[in-house]
Amino acid sequence: MPIKPLLLVMGAAASVYAAVLAVFADHSPLVTLQALGSLAGVQAIALCLLNYLLRGLRWRLWMAHYGRPLQITEALRFYLAGYTFTPTPGNVGEAARGLLLARNPLSATQSLAIFGAERLADLLSLLLLCLPVAWWLTGLAGPQRVLGLAGLAVLAAFTVFALLFRFRHKLLLRFAWLNEAWACLASRPLLWLGLSLIAWMAQGVAVWLLCREAGLSVSTLEATGFYALAMVGGALSLLPAGLGGMEAILTALLVAHGASAGLALGITVQVRLVTLWLAVAIGALALVYSAAIRKDINFR
């Protein structure tokens, strides 16, 4: 596995975060980081941990679909270890989760199918959470017209997603991995959809808590929608973990809502620390523990 390149990417991204924050933020980087130690920051971190838990349970559900039943703690450890590879284009590094198991690993097709099912489930959930603010964005004018176009893009993307579902049979015949991913999605759909929606809503509430702590008046629904739209935009950029794209969109949305550029940037950095880099750090610990101590993950 490309451990060294991944570490370089993470180190470079963290350095860029620190440099940009130091230049443009309203407060010093230390003040921005210290805000995560407040009650709202701790609550936001707890909600992000809930997100990882629920999505880990969803992954365990699809592992069982392929005849790999796992204990909850074991499944969560394997799932978290996969977050180490999140800083890859399109998060595709996470597709290696099922391949890393030392005992009875998934085939490449099966592991890719679960990865595809995860991305489709996440995209559907995020698009649903985008819809309330997408309509609000379409009413923006002037310099903020670009964000209005983003709102229209969300509405169009949701329509396309619905059309793809309508004509799914033709697509499944053309792409083998997509057919396997659809088999995963067909397994207990209400359960995985519920887990996905609650997981992403939890992170949306975390964003709202950070906004409120920073003094920005925004509703829970708006904060969740802003975060969901930024996540979709970042994913479509195909950059590693949406780096750059997600930050730019979320910052622009917060500015459009009335925040200063420095305040919006500070909130965005806090959001990325608790929603992305916290997962990467926990994932790295889980990976090292699983590979070096438990020895139930290998890189061969």
| pLDDT tens for each residue of 244-261 | 778 888 988 898 888 888
Q: Both tokens of residue 108?
A: 């490449």
Q: How many percent of the chain have pLDDT more than 90?
A: 31
Q: Taking all residues of the chain, what is their mean pLDDT, rounded to a whole number?
A: 81
What is the reported pLDDT for 139?
59
Whole-prediction pTM: 0.84
**27-41, 133-147, 226-240, 262-276, range with the lowest pLDDT:** 133-147
What is the sign of the dihedral through the CA atoms of 93, 97, 101 and 107? negative
Looking at residue 146, its amino acid is V
Reported confidence tier of residue 122, pLDDT bands at 50, 70, 90: very high
Closest CA to 17 of 241, 289, 256: 241
Closest CA to 147 of 230, 214, 205: 230
What is the reported pLDDT for 160?
64
What is the reported pLDDT for 223?
93
* Residue that has been written with the tokens 């490309």 in this structure: 2
Under a CB-based contact definition with an 8 Å cutoff, are residues 231 and 91 in contact?
A: no
Local structure of residue 101 (DSSP, 8 states): B
How confident is the model over 158-205, as pLDDT tens digits?
666 665 666 666 666 666 667 788 888 888 889 999 999 999 999 999
Distances (CA, A) of 264 to 14, 51, 207, 251, 260: 18, 23, 12, 5, 6
What is the reported pLDDT for 12?
62
How confident is the model over 50-102, as pLDDT tens digits?
999 999 999 999 999 999 999 999 999 999 999 988 877 667 778 888 888 88
